Amino acid sequence: VGRSAADLGFSPVFAVGDFAGSLAEGVLTGGAEGRVFSRASEAAPAAAAELRAGDLVLVKGSRGVGLDVVVEALTSGRRAAGGSC
C-alpha cells in the first residue's frame, strides 16, 4: 500500500498504528516522504502543520486507530477560516 501511495504521488504519507512501519517502508521505497506515529493524537498536529492551501488529503484506516482525530485537526482550521473541507 505504501509503495502504491508513493507511485500515485502521495507525499508526505503519515502512517499510524501497528503496521505503520511496513507502510512507511513502502512509501520510502517508492521515493516519497513518510513519517510513522504510534497514535493518531501524535500524527494529528504533524499532519496539520504540513497542510497547505490546495492540498488533497486521503485519510485511510480503521476507526479503531482513531484517525478521526487527524481529520478534526486537518479541518478545524479550514472551517474557522471559512474554507471548505
pLDDT at res. 7: 97
Domain of residue 26, residue span: 2-80
* pLDDT tens-digit map of 35-55: 999 999 999 999 999 999 888
Please tell me whether the overall predicted TM-score, pTM, comes out greater than 0.85 for this model. no
Nearest C-alpha neighbor of 38 from the set 46, 30, 28, 49:
46
* Domain assignment of residue 52, yes or no: yes
Whether the per-residue pLDDT at 80 is higher than 70: the answer is no
* pLDDT per position as a tens digit, 18-41: 999 999 999 999 999 999 999 999
Establish if 85 belongs to a structural domain. Answer: no
55-68 per-position pLDDT tens digit:
889 999 888 999 99
Strands 13-16, 34-37: pairing is parallel
* Total tally of structural domains belonging to the chain: 1
Domain membership flag for residue 17: yes
Question: Does residue 37 sit within a domain?
Answer: yes
